[in-house]
Every structure is written in structure tokens, then in C-alpha cells.
Structure 1
Amino acid sequence: MTLKRVLAADTLLLGITFVWGTTFIIVQNVLDKLTPLTFNAWRFLIAAFFLAGWQFLAKRRERPAFRCSPRLIVSGSVLGTLLFIGYACQTIGLLYTSASNAAFITGLSVVLVPVLSSLFLSKVPSPPVIIGVVFAAIGLFFLTTRGQFTLNRGDLIVLICAAAFACHIIFTAKVTEQFDSLSLTIVQLTVVAFLSFASGLAADGKRIFAVPQLTAPDVLSVVLFMALFATAFAFLLQTALQKETPATHVGIIFIMEPVFAAWTSVLIQHERLGGSELVGCTLILAGMLLAEWPARRRRKRAKS
């Protein structure tokens, strides 16, 4: 793992983070025409079909054909289930909370990564990690409640999304070395699409197909953009790049997602962040940095 490869991977991950951070408003504007499950079902289905077509065409070139093994299906299904939970909760939460709130709470997944890793690996977090988690929790309180003892139900839904995304980062780092990145991405995106359609049929009935609404130019353009750039390419790159850069780098870079989302809300929606929101945002970002910083120092000491 050379420095040049790590820097290249980090730069591409930052680009992915920018796309994710600036799409909260885009998604929120489409949810008045499509249900959240309908949006996710078509988004991930189109992304999975696009990558599957790419894989099929690649058979004639250097890339090996899709290899369907039980271990690949299981690993991809776990990743897909975590993604489904994360995106379903995030999209539903956007119905009841602001884009900036959803983005910052989703960012808590970066803090949860070392905490959940310690539980799965039976390792006690270091004091800086614990302090970082406390900072982030306090920041979440100020951001979502504005200093009052009330919680928006959308914020609680998005908090479930943060936990699911944290588990997704951990499991991706564990299995990405074992499989072809494109094949693993196809399986997990297909699982997300299947679960979205299945739950959509149960919750929304025939509205899950929503062909008239889906074919409207403004809706179709957003769905295609999200499917190709914010889903297919983004998750394929994340899966592949986690082979080239440490997981802690990924966590630090993902910190920028809520920052991009907040500034997008300010610039496009002219949204104003009050004092409590700014304090909450600052504490969450500080907590994320504190939670990740010890790992960075350990790597530097190891290199020395």
C-alpha cells in the first residue's frame, strides 16, 4: 500500500463523499412524487442492472466473468441488507427532518465505526474515542433538539441509518479483499433493490411501480443520476478503494459528507443554521475527528 495509491484512493473517496453530501436536497425534492421505498427500489435496481451489463461486456475483455459463489452471495447479501436499512431509514427520515439534520446524523456512522468495531472485536475503545463519542452525542442533542427535550421522529429514524452505515463500513473492510469488487457490488445492490421492492409492495402496494411518475422528465433525471453516479459508481469505487486505503481514512473522509450537505442547504435553499445547530455541528465534527485520530497516530508511530 504505497503513499501514491493511498492518496489517489483518498481523493476519489472525497469525490464520492461530495456527490453523496450534495444529493440530500435532490432526493428531498423528489419525495413528493415518489414514496421513499419506490425511489430506493428503482434507484438500486437501475444501478444493479447497469453494473451487471458492464460485467457482461467485460467478459470479452480482461476482467473475469461474474463468479457466483455461496460466500459471495452471503457477504453481498449482508452488505445489501445493511445498505437497505440505512437508505430506507435515511430516505424516510428526510420526510420528517431537514436535509442538513439528516446529513449530520448520518455522519454519526463515522463515530460508531470504532465503537461497533470494539464490540465485534472485543476491544475496549481508547479514552480519546470515548471522548469523541460523547462530543458527538452532545452535538447530536443540540442539532436535533435545539436545546429542548424533544426529538424529531425523522432524526431518530436517520439515527438507525447511521448505525446501519457504520456496520456496512466495518463489514466492507472485512470482506472486500476476498471478492472481485464489481461482483460484490452487483450482489449487494441487487439485494437492496429486492428488499426495497418487497417492502414497497407490502407498504405501498402497486404504487411501488409508479411508472407514470417515474417517467416524468424531472423525476427520471434525478433517479438516473442517483442510480448511476451516487449508487453504481459510488459503491463500486468504495468497495474497490477500501482495498487501497485504511478504513480509518475512509471514516475521516466521510466526515465531509454532512459538511457538503449543510453548505448545499445554505447555498441552494438559503437555509440558516442557528446557534444551537452550529454548536451541534461543531461538536459532531469534533467527535468524529477525536474518534479517528488515535488510529492515525498509531499508524505514524508504527511507520517510525
Structure 2
Amino acid sequence: MSRWQANGVILFVALIWGTTFVVQQTGMDSIGPFYFTGIRFLLGTLAVLPFALREVSRLHLAGYRFSRRDKIGLLATGVAMFLASILQQIGIIGTTVTNAAFLTAFYVPTVPILALLVFRIVPHWAVWPGGVLCVLGTYMLSGGDLAGLGTGDFWVLGSAFFWATQVVLVGIMAQRTRAPLTVAAVQFFVTGILGMVVGMMTEDFSLQSVYGAGFEILYAGIMSAGLAFTLQCVAQNHTPAADAAIIMSAEAVFAAIAGAVFLDERLKPVEYAGCGMILVAIIGVQLMPLMRRRRRTMTV
């Protein structure tokens, strides 16, 4: 898979995630956030598990075995996903889809900073202005009004740090283990189990509540978790984590559009301008590294 193809896959992932904000909010009418998260990601585990087992079998035949360090890394990726998912899920109860998408997008500038400070991964310089454009774009997408932020907004904002951690860890673990589907399955399973365990301690469970949120759980579990997060793991084998983070910030654009279509959250002109700014950042982070390589080739 080429870098362009990988980034195209990630843009498709952003589309799925953007529309998932809607079902995450409407699903809370029938079920609690921990059970919603737990069932959602256990469904995602089931969706990808056959492919992950086949991948592990292929690696075993090639003589590769997961080391203790690999297993710790996989567990850490799952814990990061759980913390990011549950903070976002709790927060979205008390805020709008558009605001949730905007605040979640704060993971965009966090990814290259985290990758540089913790993992010594130096991003292409285009990532920095791209990250700034994404933050400004998502700010405009929110309507430029932060004075009315409530508790739900701060829960979502807190999830951004853990989404950044998850994006970085997915890139590292997928490349380290050469098993992106296994990385996806493990992080889904860890998130699902943690969600169910905490849900049993804090929420009431009934089959009626699961049925009431059935469509939302299926969409968030199969499409967002099973398909989108798996595609993320595969695509991040072929593109840098910082680039992936900027492209995935397009989920804020798709979330705002979905909120307008399904929840009547209408966009203002300034919000459309924010969408355009994010798209500029996405295109810029794609083109700048290629332009530099082309200059080098012409010089040689």
C-alpha cells in the first residue's frame, strides 16, 4: 500500500468516525456509556478476530512470536483506547456532536508532540503548520464560542490526550509486530472487557436497553470499531502517525455534516470556513513531503 492509498483509507476512516458521533449521542437515550462502550468494542473484536487469528498463524509459520514487550505494548494500546473512548462517550452526553468533534480534534497537535518527546519520532515540518490549521479550523467549526463550555465538553477534551496516545501506539505496535489486525483485535478486546467490568459496577443492565440502542451499538461496533479502527491499524503501517492524525481530524467535518443532517445542527458560514481550513491542512500534509522529494529528484 502506498502512502497516498494509506492516507485515502484514513480519510475514509474519518468519515465513519465522524458519523459515529451521531449514534454515540443518540445511543445514550437507552443505555449507559460503559455498557455502550463495552458491547460496542466486543462486537468489534468479533468482527476482526477471524482475520487476526489468521494473521497470527501466518506469523507463527514465519517463526515470529510476540515478545513480552510486544504484549505490554498491545495492552497499553488497549488501555489508551478505553480511556479515550469512555471519556468521549461520557462527555458526548452533555454536549453537541459538533462540539464533541471539535474538542476531540485537539489530539491532532498532541500526536506529533507526544511522538517527539516520548518516542523521539521527528515529524515532517509540514505537520506543525498543519496541526495549527486543524486547531484553528476546528475552533471555527465550533462557531468560535468557547465561553459556554460545560462538563461534557471537558470530558471530551480530556479524551483527546488518550486518543493521541492511542494513535501513536497503534503506529508503533502495528509496525513493530507486523500484525495490524492483531493490534486492532487486542485493543478492541481490552476496551470491551474494561467497559463491561466497569459497567457492571456502575450501571444497570437490561436486554431492553441493549435493544433500544441496537442500531447505534451495531453501527459503532461493526463500522466504527470493527472496520474503521482496523483500517486505521493497517493504514498506519504505511504513513506516519502525525500525518494520520491530521487527516483523521477530518472526522470533525464529517461529524458536523452528520449533525446537521440527522440532528438539525446547522452550520454557520464561519463553520464552513473551518471545514475548508481543515481540508487545506489535510492536502498540505500530503503534498509538502512529496514536493520536497520531487525537488531532490530533480536536483539529482
TM-score with structure 2 setting the length: 0.81
Return the alpha-carbon distance in structure 2 between the equivalents of residues 105 and 59 of structure 1: 35
Question: Is residue 260 of structure 2 the alignment partner of residue 228 of structure 1?
Answer: no
Superposition deviation, residue 156 in structure 1: 1.2
Q: What is the aligned partner in structure 2 of residue 212 from structure 1?
A: 208
Q: What is the aligned partner in structure 1 of residue 192 from structure 2?
A: 193
Question: Is residue 171 of structure 2 the alignment partner of residue 177 of structure 1?
Answer: no
Deviations 1:188-241 (A, max 9, x none): 11111122122223322xx2x432321x2x522331222122102222221121
Superposition deviation, residue 117 in structure 1: 2.4
Return the alpha-carbon distance in structure 1 between the equivalents of residues 163 and 297 of structure 2: 30
RMSD over equivalenced CA pairs, Å: 3.5
Question: Is residue 103 of structure 2 the alignment partner of residue 105 of structure 1?
Answer: yes
Q: What is the aligned partner in structure 1 of residue 20 from structure 2?
A: 23
Deviations 1:78-113 (A, max 9, x none): 111111111111111111100011112112211221
Task: Summarize the Cα distance change of 1:30–1:9 in structure 2 as closer, same or farther, 3 Å threshold.
Answer: same
Give 5+ residue unaligned stretches, structure 1.
none
Task: Summarize the Cα distance change of 1:148–1:260 in structure 2 as closer, same or farther, 3 Å threshold.
Answer: closer
Code of the aligned partner of 2:20: T
Question: Is residue 250 of structure 2 the alignment partner of residue 253 of structure 1?
Answer: no
Superposition deviation, residue 31 in structure 1: 0.5
Contact kept in structure 2, 1:185 and 1:239, CA below 8 Å: yes
Task: Summarize the Cα distance change of 1:44–1:114 in structure 2 as closer, same or farther, 3 Å threshold.
Answer: same
Please list, as runs of the form range in 1=range in 2, the aligned pairs for 1:59-208 lying within 5 A after superposition: 69-121=67-119, 147=145, 149-179=147-177, 180-204=179-203, 207=204
Contact kept in structure 2, 1:114 and 1:291, CA below 8 Å: no
Q: What is the aligned partner in structure 2 of residue 47 from structure 1?
A: 44
Superposition deviation, residue 116 in structure 1: 2.1
Task: Summarize the Cα distance change of 1:290–1:120 in structure 2 as closer, same or farther, 3 Å threshold.
Answer: farther
Question: Is residue 8 of structure 2 the alignment partner of residue 14 of structure 1?
Answer: no
Task: Summarize the Cα distance change of 1:295–1:166 in structure 2 as closer, same or farther, 3 Å threshold.
Answer: farther
Return the alpha-carbon distance in structure 2 between the equivalents of residues 251 and 262 of structure 1: 18
Matched residues, percent identical?
27
Return the alpha-carbon distance in structure 2 between the equivalents of residues 9 and 127 of structure 1: 20
Return the alpha-carbon distance in structure 2 between the equivalents of residues 136 and 59 of structure 1: 35
What secondary structure sits across from 2:238 in the alignment? coil
Give 5+ residue unaligned stretches, structure 2.
none
Return the alpha-carbon distance in structure 2 between the equivalents of residues 60 and 150 of structure 1: 49
Contact kept in structure 1, 2:59 and 2:65, CA below 8 Å: no
What secondary structure sits across from 1:176 in the alignment? helix
Q: Which range is displaced more, 107-116 or 31-40?
A: 107-116
Return the alpha-carbon distance in structure 2 between the equivalents of residues 70 and 30 of structure 1: 38
Contact kept in structure 1, 2:23 and 2:220, CA below 8 Å: no
Task: Summarize the Cα distance change of 1:255–1:143 in structure 2 as closer, same or farther, 3 Å threshold.
Answer: closer
Q: Which range is displaced more, 269-278 or 169-178?
A: 269-278
Superposition deviation, residue 151 in structure 1: 2.5
Task: Summarize the Cα distance change of 1:69–1:220 in structure 2 as closer, same or farther, 3 Å threshold.
Answer: farther
Return the alpha-carbon distance in structure 2 between the equivalents of residues 176 and 141 of structure 1: 32
Contact kept in structure 2, 1:73 and 1:187, CA below 8 Å: no
TM-score with structure 1 setting the length: 0.80
